[in-house]
Amino acid sequence: MPKHYQLSALEATRQIRNQELSCEEYILSIFERINKTEVKVRAFVTLLREQAIEKAKEVDNLVKKQEKLSLLSGVPIAIKDVICTNGVRTTCSSRMLKDFVPPYDATVVNKLNSAGAIIVGKTNMDEFAMGSTTETSFFGPTRNPWNLDKVPGGSSGGSAAAVIAEDVPLALGSDTGGSVRCPASYCSVVGLKPTYGLVSRYGLISYANSLEQIGPFARTVEDCALLLSIISGHDDRDSTSVNLPSKDYVSLLKSEDETNRLRIGVPHEFFGEGVDNDVKDTVWEAISKLESLGCTYDEVSIPSVSYALAAYYIIAMSEASSNLARYDGLRYGFRQEKDEGDWATVYAKNRKEGFGAEVRRRIILGTYALSAGYYDQYYLKALKVRTVLRRDFERAFKEFDVLVGPTMPLLPFNIGEKIDDPLTLYMCDVLTVPANLTGYPAMSVPCGFKNDLPVGMQIIGKSFNEETILRVAHLFEQSTDFHLRRPRL
Ligand code: GLN
């Protein structure tokens, strides 16, 4: 018998509905589990124990009164600390926002509350979502549950670590250049970046608006599909969110018998220089597995992928420099004890003390790329690369239903190993940023282990066609056991 905290979201809500499991008991077991793992992993910035137990009691009351429950009734979820929660501090893991308490909920949080989910805490991340390791957090790093010396990936490292540590069955992250897929790969969970525009970003604290989406984490593809069904959909408060009919991604997992005949494209740039051989071998084995299940595959070339990383960092830093201009410590945010000097001096001091080194680096580089005289050389050129990349992907998608490759070029590395070498760290995003620049949906699925460390397979799909990547992931998951493995904690 699995312990309560080990249940999937679908199973937990079913048991609560059928009165096989008291929600209060379930949530208590979740916090007991968190108490045990948190001393080692440090996935959370804020825990909401009392509030969660109160909500659990409310769910139990509804069950007793035989009232209709919602899709996620009683299911615990963790939220990346970049997503605003009314009355609960939202820090972006930054000193700048360490005491910031939003007066409103993000749209995704509203949707989760309406669906009956129980928010158990806010998770650790790289400061302002800038990073791939969760090491730049003001609160200290999160550790990889598979090996506590290793990074969990980032920037949504706390969310992915909490899911594989069995603290929660579900979590939310945000993905600007890979921040859902990278930690999903490093922690061996399922993580999905939706198509640009599928999920409202109202209440997501911006890093680079033209690139980012909020995305789900889960231990199974089904749970991931369930969470996506709940958070997706049009929102008047986010003008980039599209108005499409909503989908039930869980039933779409099953309703198609075409899955096995899908055409998979394997971009050979995804297996190029800099990609670890262990990673390549593991992902090729996964592709062969998909072939044995009836899919066909062929190699394809997407030449502009080699320019994607440079274009991404110029665009992301430019947008960041503009977005982060609002933090002056005057209206809100970190403020030095004494204001000394003129306005500009006070402003500069607040920002210097409030932001960490990586955030400051990006503000400076982004400001540079946007400045008169350099704008054409950097920012404008990066936008042109973006258009070419989009065209190359469109061409590939004429031939293939999905594109498959590794999520990360390297296995999880040691905490502290790359933090002083930003360029090497940026290179780790080489395979994830193309989906953000083009807007296509992409996910990472556990596909094997090397040296006891997880490897993730990335599946990229056509716009607003999340059901197809989820189906490929599901097909793979159903005939492998990687998703069943757990770290010893
Ligand atoms: N690692 C990438 C960056 O630092 C992506 C971060 C993200 O997706 N938020 O920009």
Which of 94, 126, 185, 427 has most ligand 1 atoms within 8 Å of CB, for mutation? 126
Distance (Å) of CA 459 to CA 267, 315, 383, 437:
11, 24, 24, 16
Give the count of beta carbons closer than 10 Å to the beta carbon of residue 251.
Answer: 11
Find the 33 Cα to ligand 1 centroid distance in Å.
Answer: 29
What's the whole-number mean pLDDT along residues 320-326? 96
pLDDT, position 261: 85
For a ligand 1 pocket test, name from 137, 428, 429 the mutation site with the most ligand atoms within 8 angstroms of its C-beta: 429
The proportion of the chain whose per-residue pLDDT surpasses 90, expressed as a percent, equals 95
Give yes or no for residue 238 CB within 6 A of ligand 1.
no
Kindly state the average pLDDT of the residues 264-273.
96
| Residue range 465-488: mean pLDDT, rounded | 97
What's the mean pLDDT in 256-269?
84
CB 152 within 8 A of CB 413: no
How far, in Å, CA of 127 to CA of 130, rounded? 6
Ligand 1 center to residue 275 CA distance, Å?
Answer: 19
| Mean pLDDT across the chain | 96
DSSP string, 114-149: HTT-EEEEEE--SGGG--SSS-S-TT----BTTBTT
- Mark whether 155 is an active-site residue: yes
Tokens of 343: 């306005």
Decide if pLDDT at 339 tops 90: no
CB distance 178 to ligand 1 below 6 Å: yes
Q: How far is the CA of 340 from the centre of ligand 1 (A)?
A: 35
- Residue from 179, 425, 437 whose mutation best tests the ligand 1 pocket (most atoms within 8 A of CB): 179
318: preceding bond cis by omega (within 30 degrees): no
> Ligand 1 in contact with 129 (CB < 6 A)?
yes
The tens digit of pLDDT for each residue in 111-157 reads 999 999 999 999 999 999 999 999 999 999 999 999 999 999 999 99
Residue from 55, 80, 150, 462 carrying the catalytic annotation: 80
Q: State in Å: Cα 408 to ligand 1 middle.
A: 13
Q: Is 173 in the pocket of ligand 1 (CB under 6 A)?
A: no
Residue 133 CA to ligand 1 centre (angstroms): 9
Residue nearest to atom 10 of ligand 1 (CA): 130
User: 199 falls in which pLDDT band (50, 70, 90)?
Assistant: very high
Strand partners of residue 453: 450
Note if 122 is an active site residue: no
155: Cβ below 6 Å to ligand 1?
Answer: yes
Q: Across residues 31-51, what is the average pLDDT?
A: 98
Q: Which atom of ligand 1 is nearest to the CA of 208?
A: 9
Residue of 155, 318, 359, 444 to mutate, ligand 1, most atoms within 8 A of C-beta: 155
Which percentage of the chain shows pLDDT scores above 70? Answer: 99
Q: Could you give the CA distance from residue 318 to residue 379 in angstroms, rounded to a whole number?
A: 8
Structure tokens at 260: 């096995």
Query: 4-257+473-484 — its CATH code?
Result: 3.90.1300.10
Cβ–ligand 1 distance for 253 under 6 Å, the answer no
pLDDT higher than 80, residue 198:
yes
| Structure confidence at residue 83 (pLDDT) | 98
- The full set of domain ranges for the chain reads 4-257+473-484
Asked if the model's pLDDT at residue 259 lies above 90, the reply is no
132 lines ligand 1 (CB under 6 A): yes
* Catalytic-role residue among 137, 159, 179, 188: 179
Pocket flag, ligand 1, residue 443 (CB < 6 Å):
no
The Cα–Cα gap between 305 and 347 comes to 39
- For residues 291 and 352, give the distance between their C-alpha atoms in angstroms, rounded to a whole number: 53
CA dist 358 and 356 (Å) reads 6
Tokens of 219: 């231990």
The reported pLDDT for the residue numbered 2 is 85
Tokens of 226: 């369930």
Angle between helices 157-164 and 23-41 (to 10 degrees): 120
Active-site option among 8, 22, 73, 155:
155
Instruction: From the CA of 132, give the closest atom in ligand 1.
Output: 1
Identify whether the C-beta of residue 180 lies closer than 8 Å to the C-beta of residue 217.
yes
Say what the pLDDT of residue 254 is: 83
Ligand 1 centroid to residue 426 C-alpha, Å: 8
Using the predicted structure, report yes or no on whether residue 478 has a pLDDT greater than 90: yes
**From ligand 1's centre to the CA of 177, what distance in Å?**
4
- Compute the distance from residue 400 Cα to the ligand 1 centre, in Å: 27
